[in-house]
A and B are shown apart, each in its own frame.
Chain A
């Protein structure tokens, strides 16, 4: 009896909280709200599309008067793909800029280097594009993208269900710490589908000739091959397949393969090429993309997949801060994110929530694209959603 009453009380409290947050009034007595992002801008890769989109959204917000009058000041810190610089950048944002949260970052190694720093300082990161495995395996980070690991499972699942693949093979190039994550992703697919992988190669070189690997795939009789190659590698992979005159294999790639550069570079290829997206396909002018596309056009930014991540991360932060009653500080923002309220956006296939778990991988839905005559076209009209992770 007492139990029931407590439960009732608790639900009442939650209801109350919900109503309060509906008309919440965040305040900012100590100047603009500070938000930052550690991203790889120079060096081996340029991921700046994501944080620049975040910046554009905040700019739009500020131009419209801010959140309850509170403006957002957003800092992009470049980490050069260098761990030392990344650590410095994070400390600069936390200690000197006094950020309340991080949002929209896209980096080769920000999570791996800084997740512990964020954790120790009780600041949370809504990663725009989570890349390294720690982005999906840390209490302090919850990316708005599906990520290569979940996507691996999803694309493999799609290949079994929709392409009727019987002999699936995977080739991964492993960089620090991703081996376990990819192995887990493949294991999850095996569990979901009840199939076993025909060939799982974790030795793809980051650079170098791919011919031996394609020959290996052909000789193993694979009918669908998934690799985690990033942009230039995707092109190299298909070109090598063409050079070896390999046919009859469906080539599956993850989101990094879904770019206009790839479609242009492989316009001549007749190979069946599929990719899984992180969000609503950015090359499509759909209703779901409308607001994002408008924001990018206004800001004069390129419409890339990364910018969708940056855009969505900014939205998550704005919606979270809007629900805060009182002063917006690191403590209140962290608390609000940890509440784990579900936030839904048309850009993504399922709701985003941060929450208080030990690891976060909130996004579980993808759409599959196929490259046809140098153009990406949608293969799945509806979202391809993975069953909830255990």
Chain B
């Protein structure tokens, strides 16, 4: 993992260095001037890619953040603040951070679309504010001073490239860290992210803060590039066009950011040379973005897919155990999870009616019942995904009411979902670390080997559904939580795999120390894994006890008639 991010960062740095050298030595002055803009726009695009592409929040005010950075840079230049452009643009970036956080605040509880409206509103509001403030120094014809060593066009190109390189490399590290994985997880499914103990507000705010910072820096660079700026540099239309290009090019990839920058900067050049009107550009960007959205693949992704095709495909490597698993975690003995008189109503429908359930520490308890019996509602209630319920839920004897899903997960209740919700852009190792926190390389390897999962560098998008279900369970287990709720882990898994999964689940308490509440339709798996069973029907507990006894009870057989009869009879 560490090696991988170093390697990726080194590759990015090397590629940029080579590219920079080629541009520096081969291109004439005018083209160097143009390419400088490509990289400045590329930085702005990366900042947008971080919020929108990576974290899945539509931001239509990215240039407003850049405007904050630019104006601050201009002001510092005017008053002759010490440190020169490099320091000014950093301060400009920092000045944009509170703005980003302020915009991000409503995003905490909002869905993506509302956020899009908030950001568009901000862009419009910022337009009116910026339009009234002259760029510092403009009335006195004072230009933003470039750093002495980088004053010429070619020199400034190096300065911009250097900044771009630093940002790209840092972003490479961040995106491969737990924070980066958390962003992807939030984008893919906020609930699943919360279930892994990720603080959604922190993930979203950090994305907005870092994005605003980077965008602010791009504004500062632009100030040094053009010397003076006008409000049109940062208008709402610029933000919208930037959004269209980012969507088309895939700005959350370093490659996509540069491709997008080239489009924004070189398209006008191309149009000029072809004697075509300049406004064709925006139409092209709009159509390109719609095309990318309809295929669900950005330009950067298309290129990477084609490049992957050219390379010989490597078979998915299974993880090999580097050592033995660490000892099981010791959790307090007694009742790990207790549900007391839990009642959940949706309007007039009672989904759960005074349900009582106990999961003793170190056991696997099965929860069965026909579809619609309220099993998943129970999991939602325990994990903290319901706004309100009556009754109480206790973890190791302490009540969990008024505790958020994220906090419950951190306290030690982990869950999986009926359908896998792992962000496909993650790697296996990144996902397990996202779920489990910082665990050692050897522990990760041996955990994956124990579950028969592929190696940590495997992309989730390349593994099949059955394996993803395994990873769901592996992630929950790796967290070593005292209570693990598995919601139909064998759904969509082949019979052989399901048997294997059953054995693994049965072995969880003794290997890892966690107690398991298992919801499953596959009765073979339930028999194999559980030491006790609770049966639900119409939101009520109709039976509880040892598996063999409970499953033979007439009332249970009856509940399963029709819908699940064959399975029950197997």
- A-side interface residues toward B, CB under 8 Å? 41-43, 77-85, 87-89, 91-92, 95-96, 108-109, 112-113, 115-117, 132-134, 137-139, 174-181, 202, 205-206, 358
Complex contact B232–A81 (CB within 8 A): yes
With contact pairs A78-B272, A78-B278 given, residues A137 and B230 touching in the complex (Cβ less than 8 Å): no
Interchain nearest-CB distance for A294 vs B (Å): 28
User: What CA separation (Å) do A263 and B39 show in the bound complex?
Assistant: 48
Nearest 5 CB-CB pairs, A to B?
A80-B278, A177-B134, A42-B279, A176-B231, A95-B30
Q: How far is the CA of A334 from the CA of B559 in the complex (A)?
A: 96
**CB 8 Å contact bits of B224-260 with A (1 = contact, 0 = none):** 0011111111000010000000000000000000000
B346 within 8 A of A: no
CA distance A40 to B211 in the complex (A): 32
Is B134 a contact partner of A180 (Cβ separation < 8 A)?
A: yes
- Where the two chains meet, the residues of B that have a C-beta atom closer than 8 Å to any C-beta of A are 28-30, 33-34, 37, 41, 128, 130-135, 138-139, 141, 143, 226-233, 238, 264-265, 268-269, 272, 277-279, 281
Known: A78-B272, A113-B226. 8 other contacts (CB 8 A): A42-B277, A82-B238, A91-B34, A116-B227, A176-B131, A176-B232, A177-B139, A179-B134
Kindly identify which residue among B33, B138, B229, B272 contacts A95, using a CB–CB cutoff of 8 Å.
Answer: B33
Q: B229 — which chain A residues lie within 8 A by C-beta?
A: 83, 113
Q: Is the CB of A112 within 8 A of B141?
A: no
Complex contact A133–B139 (CB within 8 A): yes
The residues of B that contact A137 with a CB separation of less than 8 Å are: 139, 141
A-B contact pairs, 18 of them (CB 8 A): A41-B277, A80-B268, A80-B278, A80-B281, A83-B229, A83-B232, A84-B41, A84-B264, A92-B30, A92-B272, A113-B226, A134-B141, A174-B131, A176-B133, A176-B230, A177-B138, A179-B132, A206-B128
Question: Hey, which chain B residues are within 8 Å of A43, CB to CB?
Answer: 278-279
Closest to A115 in B: B141
With known contacts A78-B277, A95-B30, A132-B230, A88–B269 Cβ distance under 8 A: yes
Bound complex: CA of A232 vs CA of B326, how far in Å?
Answer: 75
In the complex, residue of chain B having the shortest beta-carbon distance to the beta carbon of A178: B134
**Taking CB as reference atom, which chain B residue is nearest A75?**
B272
Q: How far is the CB of A152 from chain B (nearest CB, A)?
A: 17
Once A95-B33, A109-B232 are accepted as A-B contacts, the answer to whether A87 and B139 lie under 8 Å apart by CB is no
A87 to B141, CA, bound (A): 17
A96 and chain B: residue at smallest CB distance:
B30
Q: In chain A, what residue has the closest Cβ to B266?
A: A88
- Which chain A residues border B278 with CB–CB below 8 Å? 41-43, 78-80, 82, 85
A176 touches B134 (CB 8 A): yes
Find out whether the CB atom of B135 lies under 8 angstroms from the CB atom of A87. no
Bound form: Cα–Cα A91–B269 in Å:
11
Nearest CB of chain B from residue A132's CB, rounded to whole Å: 7
**Minimum CB distance partner of A205 in chain B:** B128
CA distance A133 to B141 in the complex (A): 11
Residue of B with least CB distance to A359: B141
Shortest beta-carbon distance from A66 to chain B in Å: 24
Option from A85, A91, A178 in Cβ contact (under 8 Å) with B30: A91
CB distance from B139 to the nearest CB of A (A): 5
Question: Are B277 and A84 in contact (CB-based, < 8 A)?
Answer: no
Contact, CB under 8 Å: A77 / B272: yes
Distance to closest chain B CB from A133 (angstroms): 7
- The answer to whether A88 touches B37, judged by C-beta atoms less than 8 angstroms apart, is yes
Find the A residue at minimum CB distance from B268: A85
Residues in B whose Cβ lies below 8 Å from that of A202: 132
Residues of B within 8 A of A77 (CB): 272
A59–B33 Cα distance when bound, in Å, is 32
Provided the pairs A41-B277, A85-B278, A95-B33 are in contact, do residues A116 and B141 lie with their beta carbons within 8 angstroms?
A: yes
- Contacts A85-B268, A88-B269 known; A116 to B228 CB distance under 8 Å? yes
Q: Are A95 and B29 in contact (CB under 8 A)?
A: yes
- Cα separation A206 to B272 with both chains bound (whole Å): 30
What chain A residues lie within 8 Å of B265 (beta carbons)? Answer: 84, 88
Check A176/B34 contact, CB under 8 A, given A80-B268, A116-B227, A137-B141. Answer: no
Quote the shortest CB–CB distance from A39 to chain B (angstroms).
11
> Are B228 and A112 touching (Cβ within 8 A)?
yes
* Chain B nearest Cβ from A179, distance in angstroms: 7
Residue on A with the closest CB to B143?
Answer: A116
Counting chain B CB atoms within 10 Å of each CB, the highest count among A41, A84, A116, A137 belongs to: A84
- Given A77-B272, A109-B230, A176 contacting B135 (CB threshold 8 A): yes
Q: How far is the CA of A181 from the CA of B229 in the complex (A)?
A: 17
